Structure 1
């Protein structure tokens, strides 16, 4: 089945000319004389690519592009502008608005076809990559959820089948392991749900615009409390050491996402380092950024593993019942990127791992007398 291309152009002759070029090249084509008509057609037929004029009565090309960007399931449809406005600033503005390409009138047939083919091929590659990610993510999550069930089911069967021959201490130890597996499973489920919700929010243009307006002013006591709460769950409370900077900086990030960052960093440090070894947490100001550093002594990561942090790759872990899928660090990368920050990992195999997050600081700070 050939790809469907929607032409949005108020000039009938131009519209028919584009239609003829694309039809001759084997594409299926639909026409709309204005933005409103384009929306009606798109909602019914879902085009593979949109070619739109900019200057049109009623809904112009920029407004039509904005509609597609906000419309669920349409935000990834390639969108090309075709306009007589050939000034460099107009082209730059169109591309900055999110258009995939910008062709100026008059145009050559070969130029149009080449641009259309390029955009459609790019879309196909994206769809294939996304399908692979979905498949890999599903496999990773299934593995993550099944693994904690091993001790739960295994020791439950053992207690049921051999109850009369087991001592109280043996049963107690097995129940503790069962509980640990259940808690771990609950954590995996909650993290998977959280990742899905975060992915949805961070890929919604309007949600991101709203998020980027939020600010937080975390005190050192807040960071210490968040870190200690997680460390206690791993019996690592005494291992955590703090070197805190607190000058009242206002950070360009929401309190909710800042909390997620701290929780994930301390959880990662606790999981992937030996009990009894120090976990160092530092905060400091680095020019226009607020720097958060978590350092632990553990197995470490290779450079290849660091480069390969994504949703479906696993990290080293000494405990077979708490494997790491990389969900936490992948999630952090996505969050930090949205707020204009950076995540960096430095690690040496068998020695230490240092994860640092840079979050932009608001120009003004508030006084903090704590």
Structure 2
């Protein structure tokens, strides 16, 4: 509710203005003099202030001067009430930062129109400030992203250049083979990072259009999970897959859906110790909201035997974030996998949660069936 502060030393006029504004639906506070008005303005931070000019002690000009020096009230809309109708008086008030003048005696409509005009202008100013703050924050995030991305891109290139130099001086075939392997690994790492950056940009742009098709998950998931079964077996890991046969067909971008599932399974395989367990479960759950048009949800849960510190959980989907000491087997990665997962889940109109307790980490994705 909009709050208006009325500062007026004439009791009858003050009460009439308060009553009028309350009948119009405003929340109204009042003060009988300038000193009290300044104190109440600092306490309440009203959306608009109406103040008499001629008051004993601290007059209206003094009130406005003090409030304009306070950061919290510097931009508060301020309307003067005055019995003086001279150009000099108007100029003095405007110089101090008054937004409007109403000359006594005034009509009810004059006051309400002045209030409506000031509040509309103030709302526009606040919206503009929010946009500026959003743009500033976006620029800071962009700069931080570019700095981090350039750093991440330099690392593989540096290793590639070093490997090339060492190849020229390789004393044995074994050393030659080793440097070729480094070149291959770092080239793959650079390519993965570039592809992830391009995919991230594609998902974040408003012009992105999904290639939606009908997918039967119970038929589609086993093929996507098969390479991870082979990978898990090679590392003596146990990957259990349980997909409900009663899932409804869904409409989704299959490329995005495949990328999301592959990233989650890749993450699980990467951070699970040899002989550890990994589980993929997909099932249909009733929707909790009775008012929603969505009758049920698809639940996709990827779990693995691994612990993630509580402090790291809120940052898992941040760009380039890696859990400290999490990659115990030095398998590398772009640091963008889970960021891409979250973006894809949003594109599916779904939600994702992560928990880590009792030796297990669990990613739960839910998205509507309709």
Q: Work out whether 1:353 is the aligned partner of 2:358.
A: no
Q: Could you tell me which residue of structure 1 aligns to residue 129 of structure 2?
A: 121
Q: Please give the alpha-carbon distance, in whole angstroms, between the structure 1 residues aligned to 2:328 and 2:347.
A: 32
The Cα offsets for residues 244-291 of structure 1, whole Å up to 9 and x where unpaired, read as: 212241224222221121122112222333344222111111111111
Q: Give, in angstroms, the shift of residue 174 of structure 1.
A: 3.3
Q: Please give the alpha-carbon distance, in whole angstroms, between the structure 2 residues aligned to 1:345 and 1:135.
A: 28
Give the TM-score of the pair, scaled to structure 2.
0.58
Give the TM-score of the pair, scaled to structure 1.
0.58
Q: Work out whether 1:305 is the aligned partner of 2:312.
A: yes
Cα contact 2:270–2:331 (8 A) shared by 1: no
Q: CA RMSD in A?
A: 3.0
Q: Which residue, out of 291, 300, 318, partners 1:292?
A: 300
Q: Could you tell me which residue of structure 1 aligns to residue 243 of structure 2?
A: 244
Q: Please give the alpha-carbon distance, in whole angstroms, between the structure 2 residues aligned to 1:305 and 1:247.
A: 36
Q: Work out whether 1:343 is the aligned partner of 2:352.
A: yes
Stretch deviating more after TM superposition (270-279 or 232-241): 232-241
Q: Could you tell me which residue of structure 2 aligns to residue 68 of structure 1?
A: none
Determine helix, strand or coil for the equivalent of 2:240: strand
Q: Could you tell me which residue of structure 1 aligns to residue 218 of structure 2?
A: 220
Matches within 5 A, 1:1-370: 108-161=116-169, 163-164=170-171, 166=172, 168-200=173-205, 203-204=206-207, 211=210, 214-229=212-227, 239-287=238-286, 288-298=296-306, 300-308=307-315, 309-315=317-323, 316-318=326-328, 322-325=332-335, 327-348=336-357, 351-362=359-370
Q: Please give the alpha-carbon distance, in whole angstroms, between the structure 2 residues aligned to 1:289 and 1:237.
A: 33
Cα contact 1:231–1:266 (8 A) shared by 2: no
The structure whose Rg is larger is 2
> How many residues are paired up?
246
Q: Larger RCO: Structure 1 or Structure 2 (Cα < 8 Å, ≥ 6 residues apart)? A: 1
Q: Could you tell me which residue of structure 2 aligns to residue 13 of structure 1?
A: none
Q: Please give the alpha-carbon distance, in whole angstroms, between the structure 1 residues aligned to 2:331 and 2:150.
A: 14
Stretch deviating more after TM superposition (276-285 or 115-124): 276-285
Cα contact 2:218–2:247 (8 A) shared by 1: no
Runs of 4+ residues over 6 Å off in structure 1? 104-107
